[in-house]
Amino acid sequence: MSLASAPGKVILFGEHAVVYGRPAIAVPVDQVRATAVVERGSEGQGIQICAPDLGVSHRLGDVLTPDQPAYPLQVTVQNMLRWLGRAAGQDLAVTVSSTVPIASGMGSGAAVATAVIRALAEFFDTPIDLPELSALVFETEIVHHGTPSGIDNSVITYNQPVYFVRGSPVEVLRVRRPILLAIADTGVPSPTRLAVANVRSAWEADRQRYEGWFDRIGAIAAMARRAMETGQVSTLGGLMNQNQELLRLIGVSSPELETLISAALRAGAIGAKLCGAGRGGNMIALVNDESASWVASRLEEAGAVRVMVTRLDQTPRRSAAPTE
């Protein structure tokens, strides 16, 4: 038997603009995780894929359609077996569980794919380095999101803060001082594929305006990187607020998100914004040790269905992501 897990994630700065080549910053969230277990199955059973959280139980090779929750799992297993040079005619049981909220901007699909791929690699005693792992997870991200930027698979597979530019090598971001975030879930599902497609349609209708907004979001992400690397944590709050204003302009906020963002700021958060695709899902608030519990309780009172506080600790100096 082999077992592997992967964290969730949040995007601190740059969502949507990252799809169009601007930089973004994302960090792992260890409080929520996806776990995969691979075991030898009964002779002749084939590869059984089970995800109780999704109500999924089927055999690899069963005819599925892309709108079924098991479809990305099947694609992930098939791609990994191909990478391993193993035929699909194995007798295996692949069981997946996850506490990463679905359709909420926390990287559920990438976390599950990462856990499954790592568990299969361990089961077949075949090392896989981080760039190869990230590339395989990206293939599943295409199934989930259509035109993903690649940031989710990067931050989750490397399990470190990343400064990400589409088409460029992944850069691990050095965090000079700890950063404390409150993450609150609106309870409104927001499939990334739909939000990204809607923004693309709006961009195609008015490219000049949207390119200007994307440029400003990218500039904010670059300033946030400098603030994180130099330990200017308080600066991040204002940058979050600026980023949120631009996300409103491109049309991906929502009344539920705005309610939580306002509640966090009134409670003393240094800054707050949506995270992920928007139109629902989660928001994040920059807090400190003194305000964290108060902000969290005010978010719950404002209607958040789930609130967690996560600490991003100082990371060692490193200019590029490791390759294991």
Q: Kindly state the average pLDDT of the residues 109-122.
A: 97
Q: Kindly state the average pLDDT of the residues 46-68.
A: 86
Q: How confident is the model at residue 322 (pLDDT cuts 50, 70, 90)?
A: very low
The model's pLDDT over 190-223, given as tens digits with 9 standing for 90+, comes to 888 889 899 999 999 999 999 999 999 999 999 9
The model's pLDDT over 154-190, given as tens digits with 9 standing for 90+, comes to 999 999 999 999 999 989 999 999 999 999 999 999 8
- Judge whether residue 319 has pLDDT over 80: no
Q: Choose between 56 and 23: higher pLDDT.
A: 23
Instruction: Give the chain's domains with CATH numbers.
Output: 2-171 (3.30.230.10), 174-312 (3.30.70.890)
Total-model pTM: 0.90
In SS3 terms, the chain reads as CEEEEEEEEEEEECCCHHHHCCCEEEEEEEEEEEEEEEEECCCCCCEEEEEHHHCEEEECCCCCCCCCCCHHHHHHHHHHHHHHCCCCCCCEEEEEEECCCCCCCCCHHHHHHHHHHHHHHHHCCCCCCHHHHHHHHHHHHHHHHCCCCCHHHHHHHHCCCEEECCCCCCEECCCCCCEEEEEEECCCCCCHHHHHHHHHHHHHHCHHHHHHHHHHHHHHHHHHHHHHHHCCHHHHHHHHHHHHHHHHHCCCCCHHHHHHHHHHHHCCCCEEEEECCCCCCEEEEEECCCCHHHHHHHHHHCCCCEEEEEEECCCCCCCCCCCC
Q: Kindly state the average pLDDT of the residues 253-264.
A: 98
Q: Kindly state the average pLDDT of the residues 74-98.
A: 92
% of residues, the chain, pLDDT over 90? 78
Share the mean pLDDT of the chain. Answer: 92
What is the per-residue pLDDT for 316?
57
